[in-house]
Amino acid sequence: MLAAAAKKPRTLTTNAADSEPNTMKDAFAKYASYLNDLNEKRERVVKASRDITMNSKKVIFQVHRISKHNKEEVLEKAEKDLAAVMDQHISRLVKELQGTDFWKLRRAYSPGVQEYVEAATLCNFCKNGTLLDLDEINASLRVLSDSTVEPLQINVLDYLLGIADLTGELMRLAIGRISDGELEFAQKICRFVREIYRELTLIAPKMDDSYDMKTKMDVMLQSVIKVENACFSVHVRGSEYIPFLGSEDASFSLLGVPDDE
């Protein structure tokens, strides 16, 4: 009928389709092995990332054990543990993230790398009072790769996200230091955190997926405010804190006496 005329020119090509299931199957076998490899790789990266996170967290906890008198030993141990995180776990990422995989799998390793940045910068701040910059971290990662592989270099985004988390840890550290009587240290943290927040406000909107960073900025502001309020409390009620300072330093006895007039 009418239909027969309409379909005839097309049915002529059906012969070509007969061989198709095989080429299709062959092609899909290729896609399947591509996907399998990719998923296995992703799984390995996720595992490494989780180990990095877990062990970096331990380093951070170690740093929080700091007090007036054990600073050196605490930081020494923290740094040793941090180096171990790099040697044992970050090294696992190097081979996996060659070429375009570095960006393709970013979501798989990003949490771990952020946590590592957080731990490394926290250690460094306690030791040197400065912000460990990205180039320094990346320079330290170079030892993980020989000449046959590209070195793993942390990207700006993960670094900044790690820095954003750092402020939360610094807030805890500041509160701890205040209750331990290290007011100067707390003040220093306050200035530092404030400066980081200020710098990041300019950068946050420019970041690739700025939504993540936006929430972190809100949290960060809360941390900054907490530190400021703590410093404020010590300042306003400064003298009330003296009995709790527990310092053997004689000069503290002068504190109750106003030095003007």
Partner 1 sequence: MKSAFRSAICATLTFSLRSLNPTPHRTSLILLPRYVVCFAGKPSPFTSMATGESGSVAPPSPTVHTLEKQFEEFRHQLDDSGSLRERIRSVALEIESANRLMQSSLLLIHQSRPVPEVLEKAKGQIVVLRELFSKLAEIIRECPGQYYRYHGDWRTETQTVVSLLAFMHWLETESLLLHAEAEEKLGLNPMEFGLDTEDYLIGICFMSNDLPRYVVNQVTAGDYDCPRKVLKFLTDLHSAFRMLNLRNDFLRKKFDGMKYDLRKVEEVQYDVKIRGLATNGKSKGEQGD
Provide the minimum distance between the beta carbon of 11 and partner 1 in the complex, in angstroms, as a whole number. Answer: 6
Q: What is the DSSP letter of 130?
A: S
Phi, psi at 129, each rounded to 5° = 75, 15
- Is 231 one of the binding residues for partner 1 (CB under 8 A)? yes
Cβ-based nearer residue to partner 1, 55 or 137:
137
- The label of the residue with tokens 């012969």 reads 15
Per-residue contact string for residues 173-202; x = within reach of partner 1 by CB under 8 A: ---------xxxx-xx-xxx-xxx--xx-x
- Footprint (CB under 8 A) of partner 1, residues 82-111: 99-104, 106
| Residue owning tokens 């040697």 | 87
Token duo for residue 83: 């180096």
Output the smallest distance, CB 78 to partner 1, in A: 13
Q: How far is the CB of 88 from partner 1 (least distance, A)?
A: 25
If one asks whether residue 232 binds partner 1 (CB under 8 A), the answer comes out as yes
The answer to whether 209 and 185 are in contact (CB under 8 A) is: no
Return the amino acid letter for 201.
Answer: T
Residues 146-175 close enough to bind partner 1 by CB under 8 A: 156, 160
Q: Which is nearer to partner 1, 54 or 199 (CB)?
A: 199
Q: Kindly tell me the burial class for residue 211, based on how many C-beta atoms sit within 10 Å of its own C-beta (0-12, 13-18, 19 or more).
A: exposed
Q: With binding defined as CB under 8 A, does residue 214 bind partner 1?
A: no
Q: Which residues 27-46 are close enough to bind partner 1 by CB under 8 A? A: 27-32, 34-36, 39
CB 254 to partner 1: min, Å: 6
CA atoms within 13 A on the CB side of 65: 14
By the 8 A CB rule, do 116 and 52 touch?
A: yes
